[in-house]
Structure 1
Amino acid sequence: MKKGIHKLLSIIFIVSILASCSDDDDNPIVINEEETITTVKLSVTESGTTTTQEFEWTESSQDDITLKANTSYNIKIQFLDESNPNDVEDITEEVIAEKDEHFVFYETTVGGLTFDNASDDTVDANNVGINISTDWSAGDAATGVIRAFLIHEPTSKTGDSRADFGGETDIEVDFNVTVQ
Structure 2
Amino acid sequence: MKKVMRRFALIVTLVTVFASCSDDDSDPEVINEEETITTVRLSVTESGTTDTEVYTWTTDSQDDITLSANTTYNFAIEFLDESDPSDVEDITEEVIDESDEHYVFYDNTVNELSFVAAADDVVDADNISINISTDWSTGDAATGILRAFLIHEPTTKTGDTRDDFGGETDIEVSFDVTVE
Q: TM-score range by the shorter chain?
A: 0.7 to 0.9
Q: Deviations over 1:51-103 (max 9, x none)?
A: 00000000000000000001000000000000000100000000000000000
- Who is 1:137 aligned against? 137
- Who is 2:82 aligned against? 82
Q: Secondary structure in 1 aligned to 2:62?
A: coil
- 1-side partners of 2:135 and 2:147: how far apart? 15
Structure 1 unaligned residues grouped into runs of 5+: 1-13
Please identify runs of 4+ aligned residues in structure 1 that moved more than 6 A: 17-20
Mapping of residues 142-153 of structure 1, within 5 Å: 142-153=142-153
1:26 Cα deviation (Å)?
A: 3.0
Read off the aligned partner of 2:80 and give its amino acid letter: L
- Who is 2:11 aligned against? none
- Who is 1:56 aligned against? 56
Task: Normalising by structure 1, report the TM-score.
Answer: 0.87
Q: Deviations over 1:21-67 (max 9, x none)?
A: 55465342321101000000000000011100000000000000000
- Who is 1:4 aligned against? none
- 2-side partners of 1:175 and 1:86: how far apart? 27
- 2-side partners of 1:24 and 1:147: how far apart? 47
1:120 Cα deviation (Å)?
A: 0.3
Q: Secondary structure in 2 aligned to 1:96?
A: helix
For these two proteins, the number of residue pairs brought into alignment is 166
- 2-side partners of 1:24 and 1:63: how far apart? 53
Identity across matched positions, percent: 73
Read off the aligned partner of 1:111 and give its amino acid letter: N
Q: Secondary structure in 2 aligned to 1:26?
A: coil
- Who is 2:176 aligned against? 176
- 2-side partners of 1:33 and 1:24: how far apart? 25
- 1-side partners of 2:156 and 2:70: how far apart? 31
Read off the aligned partner of 2:122 and give its amino acid letter: T
Task: Normalising by structure 2, report the TM-score.
Answer: 0.87
- Who is 1:7 aligned against? none
- 1-side partners of 2:136 and 2:75: how far apart? 7
Answer yes or no: is 1:65 the counterpart of 2:86. Answer: no
- 2-side partners of 1:23 and 1:114: how far apart? 57
- 1-side partners of 2:63 and 2:70: how far apart? 22
